[in-house]
Structure 1
Amino acid sequence: MDIPLGVLFNMLLYLRKPEGRNPSIVIFLSFARVPYTLMNGALSSVWFDRYKISVHSPEHLESLDSMCRDLTSLINEELKMGIEKNRILLGGFSMGGAMAMHLAYRYHKDVAGVFALSSFLNNGSILYQALKEAKSSLPELFQCHGVADKLVLHKWGEETNNTLKSLGVNTLFHSFPNLYHELNLAELEQLRSWILQKLPEGPTGAQ
């Protein structure tokens, strides 16, 4: 979710099937063009609408819930094709990571794991309330963030991680000094290792 094409190429190289492993299905989704408040309502390629890029802003629940429904339909299509739910990982960069967290921890708590890169959740997120009411086990969260990120502050990602941990999510948080709102190869290598750990050899796999 929400990952530049050049990075997609590198990730595909990292996720190539190691010798002797069964292949995984890797699905990269692009964000939709929807009216975006921060662009004065112009159509923009975003996962959901925001009132402001800040942890202190309320969430735009209508657009979040709408996209969760659309993405759930895609997940259901994969399940119909025989992919097991515990072989699915959800994740993304920036807004895509936030979208993945909402999708997994509100609606699909039985997926294999979640990754969020340079992402955050708003204070008082509806997701937090959903976890307070959760009675099932929760997927692990792999999170990375650049310390030098000026768009989505590192402390926002760290606060998100700490809050999710306090609500019962097993979390991993990796900080990258001098990294801005972007990805680097060291981060992708750690993500690759985590993915291979979460999806060991099996009949099928999806991410």
Structure 2
Amino acid sequence: MLDCVEIDSPATANACVIWLHGLGADGNDFVPIVPELGLGEAHTVRFVFPNAPSRPVTVNNGMAMPAWYDIKGVDIADKQDADGIAATANQINELIAREIQAGIKPERIVLAGFSQGGAIALHVGLRQHARLAGVMALSTYLPLHDRLADEAAAESADVAIFMAHGTEDPVVPITLGQTSRDQLETAGYHVAWHEYPMAHQVCLPEIATIGRWLRERLAV
């Protein structure tokens, strides 16, 4: 089981957000955002921020750092680490199963992520045989898109997908995000797409929109 930073809800939890950080970060990265989401003082949403294991990353000269999978070149959508993505998917599925065993219904779980974490959120969320409340993918892309048709779960065909991207992103170009959105829509998914004048980051207007979307998805 992955090590996680966890924030319990003020009231008894009946919903959960599992939020994956980006390359080189850790589970604390998005903790400060939680109070800005407008969930209320007595909300029932538990937050789980997993820590990625440290692994060598090819694009960073093989240096080990927290990573959900290897990035093998400057073009992040090329030569994708299918084995690393699959191994991480299994770990995230373990976290989802743990929350379900704790009494949280699948339809009350949001799988979220930024950059690499967002790619994993899309990969895992669309393959769930019990549909989640939603998938939130920030500043990211759809990994292994050519496998989606064969691997997607029919039960998650109508899962809510939130995507947001910076127009000035130098790490994950917005064109890659837009292409991923188009691939998802062509496959029949509904994507709520948002663009912001920012780089590879999050901004206050985006956080406000995320808060509204989470409150809607989780009926907070």
For 1:124 and 1:115, locate their aligned partners in 2 and report how far apart those are by CA, in whole Å. 17
Judge conservation of contact 1:38–1:52 (CA < 8 Å) in 2: yes
Corresponding residue number in structure 2 for 1:49: 70
Measured in 1, the distance between the counterparts of 2:129 and 2:67 equals 21
Q: Would the alpha carbon gap of residues 107 and 36 (structure 1) be closer, same or farther in structure 2, given more than 3 Å must change?
A: farther
Long gaps (5+) in structure 2: 1-19
Partner residue of 2:163? 143
Q: Check whether the contact 2:169–2:199 (CA below 8 A) recurs between aligned residues.
A: yes
Secondary structure of the residue aligned to 1:99 is helix
User: Which residue in 2 is equivalent to 1:198?
Assistant: 217
Superposed CA deviations along residues 104-128 of structure 1, whole A, max 9, x for unmatched, are: 1124561110011110125744235
Question: Structure 1 unaligned runs (5+)?
Answer: 202-207
Identity %: 26
- Structure 2 CA distance for aligned equivalents of residues 115 and 94 of structure 1: 11
**Letter of the 1:70 counterpart:** Q
1:14 and 2:36 correspond? yes
CA distance in 1, matches of 2:196, 2:84: 31
**Structure 2 residue 189 is matched with structure 1 residue 166:** no
Match of 1:28 in 2: 49
How many angstroms apart in 1 are the aligned matches of 2:163 and 2:51? 20
4+ runs of 1 displaced by more than 6 Å? Answer: none
1:117 counterpart (131, 138, 153): 138
8 Å CA contact 1:109–1:139 kept in 2: the answer is no
Match of 2:11 in 1: none
With a CA cutoff of 8 Å and minimum separation of 6, indicate the structure with the bigger relative contact order: 1
Partner of 1:91 in structure 2?
112
Instruction: Note the aligned Cα RMSD (angstroms).
Output: 2.1
Shift of 1:147: 0.5
How many Å separate the matches in 2 of 1:70 and 1:7?
Answer: 20
Structure 1 residue 49 displacement after superposition: 1.1
Higher percent of residues as strand = 2
1:155 aligns with: 175
Counterparts of 1:185 and 1:108 in 2: how far apart (Å)?
A: 34
